[in-house]
Structure 1
């Protein structure tokens, strides 16, 4: 009867006896990982209980009078089979931590807004299609996780979560974020990846404490200019969207350390990016860049990723002049960027390292404007007679400009060095070198 802490987790206990109610001094109880399906009806008589963990026990329902545990500060119910929450849950006025992740909840009661002292609320991995507007009453909430649900929108009342620092809404069906999110001045981490966002609200710029913004795998075509107001932003990830341009204001993110915009539709990077003087990692692979702004040379980059096949975090760049604007630009062997799946690729034999060589040799690598002139390298998989071998070096129509030939030769030589240094290609090494020799001779 004087027992204060009871840990029976990860056993094979099928049932908790009703007599547990005699443990009146019990404050901490953990029954997680047992083959339980219910809690005893007398359980709410343990009114000194402050921490209760019943994770992963196949629990299908909570006692209707669970609100009698009025001293409860932490309630962990993760990985169960809960389909609803009893109304009495709202009586847990001292509750600070509520974990309902990975259950079968389709509905969240409006009374959830009565848990005024709640600091952490995990609702991830459920079947929620909406969140009641009363959630905005949780003025002390620090972390809200509603990832992996079926949310199509967030209530405008979310603006009332003035203490919120972490908002996780990954893997839902959101198309927009409410404008009220701009009132979350203490918000530090916002993850909205794997949704259906078609635009990012301008009010995002008012989240002055934001340090991490994850927008991966949405349908964004642009970022708002207000994003430049995020002076504390350290990590910005917008991979796998439909971005066609970046606002020059992004340079205003003066604390930005990692900026990843892989697999979008960008044709240029604004020179103002150099104003983000703390930028160390820039990932622009899988875009449509023809060149990079010269201003990047003022940054102390530790990694600049231009391609999935890039073996080193940094490359050697050359300065050039944009013939259209006259501005100084940077270029290298991996620019202009190539589509990840070239049109001609299906007609070419796949042979490991040689495939990347074929991709690199597309005409668009040398001159995007020469769209009607096709060059391709073709290597036959089966050895045939010598007459066939003489015809298998280089297939092309239309002769490249001498300047293009010079670039082609330089690129092939760089490819030879990269492939010789690449790990895991030893078995193809002789074949690759022989193939490159043939290409170089023809060029």
Structure 2
């Protein structure tokens, strides 16, 4: 009866006896990972309980009088079979942490807004189609996770979550974010990836504390100019959208360290990006860039990704002049960017195309992988009579991971590609290039 903490997690206990109500001093209880389907009706009599964990126990319902646990500060109900929450849950006025992730909730009661001291609320992995507007009453909430649901919108009242630092709404059906999100001045992490966003509200620029913004896999065509007001933004990921341009105001993100816009429809990068002086990683692979702005040379980039099969984080760039605008630009062997799946109809210079493809595929990782998986077979003439015996008696030899002669050939082909690109359009060098290609092709 003087027991303060009880941990029975990860056992095979099928039932908790009603007599547990005699443990009046109990403060911490963990029954997670047992084959339980219910909690005893007498459970809410444990009024000194502050922390209750019943994760992954196939729980189908909470006791209707669970609100009697008025000292409860942490309630973990993750990975159960809950389909609804009792109204009495609103009586848990001291609750600071509520984890309802990975259940079968279709509806969140309006009374959730009565949990004024709540700091962390996890609702991920449910079937929620909406969030009640009363959630805006949770003035002390720090983290809200509603990812992996069926939300088509967020209530405008979300602007009442003035203490919120983390908002996770990944894998839903959102097309827009409410303008009120700009009132969340303490918001640090916003993840809206894998939704259906067609635009990003201008008020995003008012989230002055934002350090991480993840917009991956949406349908955005532009980013708002106000994004340049995010002075503390460190990581911006907008991969796999439909972006056709970037606002020049992006340079205002003076703390930006990682910027990724892979697999979009960008044809140019604004030169103002060089104003983001802390930028170290820029990923623009899978776009339609013909060149890069010369201003990139002022940045201390550690990685600039232009292609999926790029073998090194940085390449050697050459300066050139844009024939249309006359401005100085940067170019390299991977520019202009080519489609990820080359057009088979383009059959001019077929051998050059094949050679280019060979070189592009030869990153260090794929080279090692191919070499390891390559098998040499030695077969014996006297065993050819019986195919099965032939297979059984075949001597297999794994290839050496890095054959020296093949590595040298790779370097030769890479050097040739550089020379070939430099010689494009110069008829005087055409024969020399073709002869070189013949030599390397023969070597291959």
Structure 1 residue 25: deviation in Å?
0.1
- Does 372-381 or 340-349 show the bigger shift? 372-381
Shift of the 371–19 alpha-carbon distance from structure 1 to 2, 3 Å rule, reads: closer
* 1:353/1:432 contact within 8 Å kept: no
Measure the CA separation in 2 of the matches of 1:6 and 1:401. Answer: 57
Query: CA 1:167–1:399 in structure 2 vs 1: closer, same or farther (change >3 Å)?
Result: closer
Q: Does 2:116 correspond to 1:143? A: no
Q: Does structure 1 conserve the Cα–Cα contact (< 8 Å) formed by 2:371 and 2:400?
A: no
Q: Distance in 2 between matches of 1:68 and 1:289?
A: 63
User: What are the ranges of 5 or more consecutive residues in structure 1 without an aligned counterpart?
Assistant: none
Q: Contact 1:363 / 1:374 at 8 angstroms: preserved in 2? A: no
**Pairwise CA RMSD:** 11.2
1:230–1:411 distance in 2 versus 1, CA, 3 Å:
farther
Deviations 1:277-327 (A, max 9, x none): 000000000000000000000000000000011000000000000011111
Does structure 1 retain, via aligned residues, the 8 Å contact 2:229–2:253?
Answer: yes
Alignment coverage as a number of residue pairs: 443
Deviation at 1:341, TM superposition (A): 1.4
Q: 2:174 and 2:193 mapped to 1: Cα distance?
A: 10
- In structure 2, how many angstroms separate the alpha carbons of the residues matched to 1:428 and 1:30? 77
- Relative distance call for 1:425 and 1:182 in structure 2 (3 A) is farther
Relative to 1, partners in 2 of residues 1:245 and 1:48: Cα closer, same or farther, differing over 3 Å?
same
Shift of 1:256: 0.1
CA pair 408-205 structure 1, distance change in 2 beyond 3 A: farther
Tell whether the 8 Å contact from 1:357 to 1:415 is kept in structure 2 after alignment: no
Q: Displacement of 1:429 after TM fit?
A: 25
Once residues 419 and 7 of structure 2 are traced to their aligned partners in structure 1, the CA distance between those partners, rounded to angstroms, is 57
* Alpha carbons 1:349, 1:378 under 8 Å: kept: no
Alpha-carbon displacement from aligned partner over 1:32-80 (angstroms, at most 9, x marks no partner): 0000000000000000000000000000000000000000000000000
Cα distance change, pair 20–173 in 1 and its aligned pair in 2 (3 A): same
Give per-residue Cα distances to partners, 1:341-376, cap 9 Å, x unaligned.
Answer: 122189999999968339899999999999999999
What is the alpha-carbon distance in structure 2 between the residues aligned to residue 38 and residue 401 of structure 1? 60
Distance change in 2, residues 1:245/1:157 (3 Å): same
Q: Given that residues 371 and 402 in structure 2 are in contact (C-alpha distance below 8 angstroms), is that contact kept between their aligned partners in structure 1?
A: no
Specify the alignment match of 1:437 in structure 2. Answer: 438
Q: 1:411 — aligned with what?
A: 412
1:4-47 deviation per Cα after TM superposition (whole angstroms, max 9, x unaligned) = 00000000000000000000000000000000000000000000
CA distance in 1, matches of 2:172, 2:374: 45
CA 1:366/1:113 → structure 2, altered by over 3 Å: closer, same or farther?
Answer: closer
1:392 Cα deviation from its structure 2 partner? 36
Q: Is the 8 A contact 1:199 1:221 kept in 2?
A: yes
Q: In terms of mean alpha carbon deviation, does 384-393 or 429-438 score higher? A: 384-393
- The whole-number CA distance in structure 2 between the counterparts of 1:378 and 1:350 is 34
What SS does the corresponding residue of 2:136 show, helix, strand or coil?
helix
Q: Is the 8 A contact 1:349 1:381 kept in 2?
A: no
Cα deviation for residue 168 of structure 1 reads 0.1
Q: Which runs of 4+ in 1 moved over 3 A?
A: 345-355, 357-443
- What SS does the corresponding residue of 2:351 show, helix, strand or coil? coil
Structure 1 distance, partners of 2:40, 2:427, is 65
Cα distance in 1 for partners of 2:190, 2:379 equals 48
Q: Could you say if the C-alpha distance between residues 398 and 27 of structure 1 is closer, same or farther in structure 2, counting changes exceeding 3 Å?
A: closer
CA contact (8 A) 2:310 2:360 kept: no
Do the aligned residues in 1 keep the contact of 2:423 with 2:430 (CA within 8 Å)? no
- Distance, in Å, in 2 between the alignment partners of 1:100 and 1:128 is 12
Structure 2: 5+ residue stretches without partners: none
SS in 1 for 2:2: coil
State whether residues 379 and 390 of structure 2, in contact with CA within 8 Å, keep that contact through their aligned partners in structure 1.
no
Q: Which residue of 2 aligns with 1:52?
A: 52
How far, CA to CA, are the matches of 1:322 and 1:231 in structure 2?
A: 32
**Quick one: distance in 1 between partners of 2:212 and 2:50?**
33
Cα pair distance change 1:232/1:56, threshold 3 Å: same
Q: Is residue 375–residue 396 contact of structure 1 (8 Å, CA) maintained in 2?
A: yes
Distance 1:44 1:316, change over 3 A: same
Give the distance between the partners of 1:358 and 1:13, measured in 2 at CA.
60
Counterpart contact for 1:119–1:141, Cα < 8 Å: yes
- Is this contact kept in 2: 1:349–1:379, CA < 8 A? no
Alpha-carbon distance change, 213 to 419 in structure 1, aligned in 2, over 3 angstroms? farther
Report the secondary structure of 1:48's partner residue.
coil
1:354–1:432 CA contact under 8 A, matched in 2: no
Q: Flag the 1:407–1:119 CA change in 2: closer, same or farther, 3 A.
A: same
Residues 119 and 142, structure 1, Cα contact 8 Å, conserved in 2: yes
| Distance in 2 of aligned mates of 1:235 and 1:18 | 51
Tell me if the contact between 2:291 and 2:335 (Cα under 8 Å) persists in the aligned partners: yes
Decide whether the 8 Å contact of 1:363 with 1:375 is kept in 2: no
Question: CA 1:385–1:364 in structure 2 vs 1: closer, same or farther (change >3 Å)?
Answer: farther
Distance 1:39 1:392, change over 3 A: closer
